[in-house]
A and B are shown apart, each in its own frame.
Chain A
């Protein structure tokens, strides 16, 4: 059973068209949920950590939210430079300290 599921797999937006990416998780005792951005040929770049339901974090056009079952990454008025793969990862109470990743959402923003 997948512990972290991201949707959609791919998303194409027009510049300025806001949308949301979803990360759902099935682990118990969530310790942390992490969002990363990955550009081709690069390592994942850290964006946000969320630790408890109801928490929200913002950075420029991105806003991450967390519930007891899922997290959303909201992208407001995206620009072409926001095109990347967005990865979600979790750690949980009875799991290892390393991150368990979802398969990612490939976002393309067209001018």
Chain B
């Protein structure tokens, strides 16, 4: 079956620009997660959506980062006024909920010039 789909796969932008990253989770998965993976930092949590509950935003590094999930399915991660330190691979994962395994997309590689 279809896995988690992320787009674009690569994004190059200039410092100060806004970017939007998209995630299509596995159909029927109620939980959706965003992580960031950068050299020397490993995989770090950004934000978590579960059904209609308020999202857990505790991992967002600054107020330049925001995310939404529309209709309980597709999610968009937005980074405003990008900085060079935002360069990383942004990974999305989904799960059926609870403490079940998360399944990851292949990520968006973001490069800030």
Quote the shortest CB–CB distance from A27 to chain B (angstroms): 13
B50 touches A43 (CB 8 A): no
In the bound complex, CA of A104 to CA of B35 (Å)? 15
Residues of B within 8 A of A31 (CB): 99
Residues of B within 8 A of A102 (CB): 42
Q: Which of chain A's residues 85-106 have a Cβ closer than 8 Å to chain B?
A: 87, 89, 91, 96-104
Which of these binds chain A: B13-21, B62-70, B72-80, B101-109?
Answer: B101-109
Quote the shortest CB–CB distance from B47 to chain A (angstroms): 8
Interface 1/0s, chain B 43-77, versus A by CB < 8 A? 11100101000001011000000000000000000
Q: How many residues of A contact B (CB 8 A)?
A: 24
A101 touches B42 (CB 8 A): yes
Q: Is B31 an interface residue (CB 8 A)?
A: yes
Partner of A97, one of B56, B103, B104: B56
Residues of B within 8 A of A100 (CB): 45
Q: Which of chain A's residues 11-30 have a Cβ closer than 8 Å to chain B?
A: none
Q: Which of chain A's residues 67-111 have a Cβ closer than 8 Å to chain B?
A: 87, 89, 91, 96-104
Q: Is B110 an interface residue (CB 8 A)?
A: no
Partner of A43, one of B31, B48, B91: B91
A101 touches B43 (CB 8 A): yes
Residues of A within 8 A of B45 (CB): 96, 98-100
Q: Kindly report which residue of chain A lies nearest to residue B101, judged by CB atoms.
A: A46
Residues of A within 8 A of B (CB): 31-32, 34, 36, 41-46, 49, 51, 87, 89, 91, 96-104
20 sampled A-B residue pairs with Cβ under 8 A = A34-B101, A34-B102, A36-B104, A43-B91, A43-B106, A44-B91, A51-B99, A87-B43, A91-B99, A96-B45, A96-B48, A96-B58, A97-B48, A97-B50, A97-B56, A97-B99, A99-B35, A99-B43, A100-B45, A101-B42
